Amino acid sequence: MKAGPIGIFDSGVGGLTVWKEVTALLPWEDTVYLADSAHAPYGEKPPEAILQRSLVCTRKLMDFGAKMVIVACNTATTNAIAELRRQFPIPFIGIEPAIKPAALQSASGTIGVLATRGTLASELFARTSRSYGAQIRILEQEGEDLVARIEAGTLEQPELGEKLRAMLQPMVDQGMDHLVLGCTHYPFLTPILQTVLPPQVRIVDCGLPVARQALAVLEREDLLGPREETGEHRFWTNADPVLLDRMRARLGGPPGTVAALDF
Ligand code: DGL
């Protein structure tokens, strides 16, 4: 079991931003990544459909021998992780917007959350916001159309910066000093966001905390792989492997093989 890879899935290329942090923190571990891009975005699907896709992805990762699964998608975590934990005998790591660290570090007392409609409307998000809402003001903004743009790999157009500025300036005007990226696709936008936001606004994503959580759980479950080796990385997509490879290369990180798979 220790020799198995860490399985990671997302509705598409977004979970690569989590994969990158996992490989940085656990460079000896093998990984298998599934991009369910043929069914993105999950946020516009009914909960039952998101659960079905999460079950399909998890079964596939189990077929690849995964010893742990990281559900690298806020929408799938909210809608499916409880059922996945019930059905499969391996540890699962989920994702949720990093409201806690932003709330604890905010000096202005105002933070912003950029997320999909599905995440902003979820019970998990409501619960987390409620637990910090008394001490801190949390401003919300739906990242309309952003997942589709990142899936298409079209991040170079200058009007994307203008679109992001229009979305975020109202939160800046209200004193936001931390912007939480509540979707694993959005760290692809960080270089553009840094040009659009004033320097006092810190951008917070959940990649590193999730990698730390994976390390802690592997240690606890005695599932850590042998540290003297360098991990191998395989990526599968049910859409265009060239695009997945391009998005992976954009992030950097260790090399791996990318191929198409029907799932
Ligand atoms: N990466 C997914 C997330 O973090 C994208 C959401 C979607 O597919 O709607 O929620």
Q: At 85, which CATH number?
A: 3.40.50.1860
Give the mean pLDDT of 174-186. 97
pLDDT band at 71, cuts 50/70/90? very high
Q: Which residue has a Cα nearest atom 2 of ligand 1?
A: 73
Q: Do 11 and 85 lie in a common domain?
A: yes
Ligand 1 nearest atom to the CA of residue 182, by list position: 4
Asked if residue 238 is part of any domain, the answer here is: yes
Q: Do 197 and 212 lie in a common domain?
A: no
Asked if residue 1 is part of any domain, the answer here is: no
β-pairing, 31-35 vs 6-10, is parallel
Asked if residue 228 is part of any domain, the answer here is: yes
Specify the amino acid at residue 112: G
Q: How many domains does the chain have?
A: 2
Q: Do 20 and 57 lie in a common domain?
A: yes
Asked which of 204, 221, 240 is the last residue of a domain, the reply is: 204
Other CB atoms closer than 10 Å to residue 222's CB: what's the count? Answer: 8
- Which range, of 214-218, 223-227, 236-240, averages the lowest pLDDT? 223-227
Percent of the chain beyond pLDDT 90? Answer: 85
Q: Do 125 and 195 lie in a common domain?
A: yes
Distance 35 CA to ligand 1 centre (A): 11
Query: Could you give the residue numbers annotated as active site?
Result: 73, 183
Q: Do 14 and 91 lie in a common domain?
A: yes
pLDDT band at 255, cuts 50/70/90? very high
pLDDT value at residue 169: 98
pLDDT value at residue 44: 84
* CB contact at 8 A, 112 and 85: no
Q: Do 138 and 219 lie in a common domain?
A: no
* CB contact at 8 A, 178 and 202: yes
Query: Against a cut of 0.85, is the pTM above it?
Result: yes
Sheet of 137-142: strand order equals 137-142, 110-115, 178-181, 202-204
Distance 155 CA to ligand 1 centre (A): 17
Q: Do 213 and 254 lie in a common domain?
A: yes
Distance 50 CA to ligand 1 centre (A): 11
Q: Do 199 and 171 lie in a common domain?
A: yes
Domain assignment of residue 173, given as a range: 99-204
pLDDT band at 95, cuts 50/70/90? very high
Q: Do 35 and 121 lie in a common domain?
A: no
Give the mean pLDDT of 231-251. 96
| pLDDT tens-digit map of 182-208 | 999 999 999 999 999 999 999 999 999
Asked which of 181, 204, 227 is the last residue of a domain, the reply is: 204
Q: Do 187 and 235 lie in a common domain?
A: no
Ligand 1 nearest atom to the CA of residue 115, by list position: 10
Asked if residue 38 is part of any domain, the answer here is: yes
3-class DSSP state of 108: coil
Binding site membership of 98 for ligand 1 (Cβ less than 6 Å)? no
Q: Do 106 and 227 lie in a common domain?
A: no
| pLDDT tens-digit map of 150-161 | 999 989 888 999
Q: Do 13 and 80 lie in a common domain?
A: yes
3-class DSSP state of 69: strand
Considering the chain, what is the average pLDDT of its residues?
A: 95
Asked if residue 116 is part of any domain, the answer here is: yes
Residue of 9, 33, 119, 149 best suited for mutating to test ligand 1, as the one with most atoms within 8 Å of CB: 119
